Amino acid sequence: MKHPLHQFHFCPKCGSKNFIENNLKSKKCRGCGFTYYFNSSAAVVAVIVNAEGEILVATRAKDPAKGTFDLPGGFIDMYESGEEAVRREVHEETGLLITSAEYLFSIPNIYVYSGFEVHTLDIFFRCKADNFSDLKAQDDVSELQFIARSKLNPADFGLMSIRKGIEKISKEVRI
């Protein structure tokens, strides 16, 4: 197994090439002594259910996993809470205004972006919207549709954490 920081060759503090594996989570610079700890990036996932009990599913407009199913969501920005991020991401991708966001569960993931492995912690929220009239695919989404929970197929979802989340929603989680 490759070290999570195998793509980092230079110390981010001093630029030295003597940036070596320190342990499973870090690299240390032999030049300046700086230790860089690699932690997961936080991301949010919205589970939005309509009055018929169907789940809002997005089709990814961009890589990774372009053309596959996804749930609305994305990375949490600096200085933003998970609840703020899920509201922002849902609005950016669907036009919907979320009225409540309740934590469901989290799943670790590796999100490959431009050939770079980003370790993430994907935080799933049950989200409510009062009005679906503004629903429109935008940003990273090419299409939106509601699918009955019983008809969701995890294999249709391109990202590993979302597949696992769909499995959990289908079997264990009450939404």
Catalytic positions, written as ranges: 143
Centre a 10 Å sphere on the Cβ of residue 102 and count the other Cβ atoms it contains. 12
Cα gap 58→67, rounded to integer Å: 9
Main-chain dihedrals φ then ψ at residue 159, nearest 5 degrees: -100, 135
Assigned token pair, 43: 């991301």
The percent of the chain in helix, strand and coil, each rounded to the nearest 5, is: 20, 40, 45
Cα gap 58→24, rounded to integer Å: 35
Centre a 10 Å sphere on the Cβ of residue 59 and count the other Cβ atoms it contains. 17
The DSSP output letter for 77 is P
Centre a 10 Å sphere on the Cβ of residue 27 and count the other Cβ atoms it contains. 22
